[in-house]
Structure 1
Amino acid sequence: MDTLKKAKSEKDTYDCHPGCAVEAALSLIDGKWKGVILFLLLDREVLRFNEFQKALPNITQRVLTAQLRSMEADGLLTRTVYPVVPPKVEYSLTELGASLEPVIKALAGWGNANRSLWPKGFKRDAHLQQAG
């Protein structure tokens, strides 16, 4: 079983080597924008590129493109291209991406509950400050 393994020693330590379940799961959602992109897709189900840009005004086009490509490569979302002019591209969650719903909702709940405890001056994006 690939989980954290408790070591038998005077001090309890945990062995989370590269590739363990925690490290692997976190690597799927690491990055400044992936969690927010997942949160948006969980709420809206299908989004086009310009809809992401409107919802996330602080993200650059280059970074959004990179995050979406990475998430597609990791199997979290599907990019559907429609053969029309002008081009139409939509993004939606895969089954794997949708399975992160309880994790993303738990993070959102934790963030809302503990925001007042964050260190003074903690860097927050303007869109997050406006949210609550």
Structure 2
Amino acid sequence: MVSKQELDQYLISIKESDNNHECVVKSALEVVGGKWKLRILAQLLKKEVVRFNELKREISGITNTMLSNSLHELELDGLIARNQYNEMPVRVEYTLTDTGKSMLPIFYELTVWWNNYRE
């Protein structure tokens, strides 16, 4: 849990930033933003090791192309690892990296916020 002092300092940094400097919120959202990335990460938190078709089944409405692109971007950003096995047919599994696992508190806080918002 973040302290009040840390939140106050964070708010000051947001207020003091100008358009000439990269906003940290914008940068973070470029990594995990969009319709699908957080849902993919949530599935990987839930199951630890997931294959492409499992993700496709669990995330309703996502296309193969969008899933593939999102997985590739998450891999490039260091949040997931892609493990391809030399088998026929080819087997590919996705797991969270330590950086990806470090998002667990963010998911928790988002869930707390959602539960309070719903009420």
TM-score interval w.r.t. the shorter chain? 0.7 to 0.9
Counterpart-to-counterpart distance in 2, 1:37 and 1:65: 11
Q: Residue deviations 1:24-44, cap 9 Å, x none?
A: 222211111111111111111
* Alignment-derived partner of residue 44 in structure 1: 47
Q: 2:17 aligns with which of 15, 18, 28?
A: 15
TM-score (norm 1): 0.72
Q: Is the 8 A contact 1:81 1:89 kept in 2?
A: yes
Q: 1:55 aligns with which of 53, 58, 82?
A: 58
Counterpart-to-counterpart distance in 2, 1:66 and 1:112: 31
Q: CA deviation at 1:112?
A: 3.6
AA partner of residue 13 (structure 1): K
Q: Residue deviations 1:70-101, cap 9 Å, x none?
A: 00010000000000011100000011111111
Counterpart-to-counterpart distance in 1, 2:70 and 2:33: 10
Q: Is the 8 A contact 1:75 1:97 kept in 2?
A: yes
Compute the RMSD of aligned alpha carbons. Answer: 2.4
Find runs of 4+ consecutive structure 1 residues off by over 4 angstroms: none
For structure 2, the residue ranges without an aligned partner over 5 or more in a row are 1-8
AA partner of residue 15 (structure 1): S
What secondary structure does 1:13 align onto? helix
TM-score (norm 2): 0.79
- 1:69-88 residue pairs with structure 2 within 5 A? 69-88=72-91
Counterpart-to-counterpart distance in 1, 2:118 and 2:11: 31
Counterpart-to-counterpart distance in 2, 1:58 and 1:106: 26
Counterpart-to-counterpart distance in 1, 2:41 and 2:48: 10
Q: Is the 8 A contact 1:16 1:23 kept in 2?
A: no
What secondary structure does 1:102 align onto? helix
Counterpart-to-counterpart distance in 2, 1:113 and 1:65: 34
Counterpart-to-counterpart distance in 2, 1:5 and 1:101: 22
AA partner of residue 58 (structure 2): A
Is 1:96 matched with 2:102? no
Q: CA deviation at 1:60?
A: 0.6
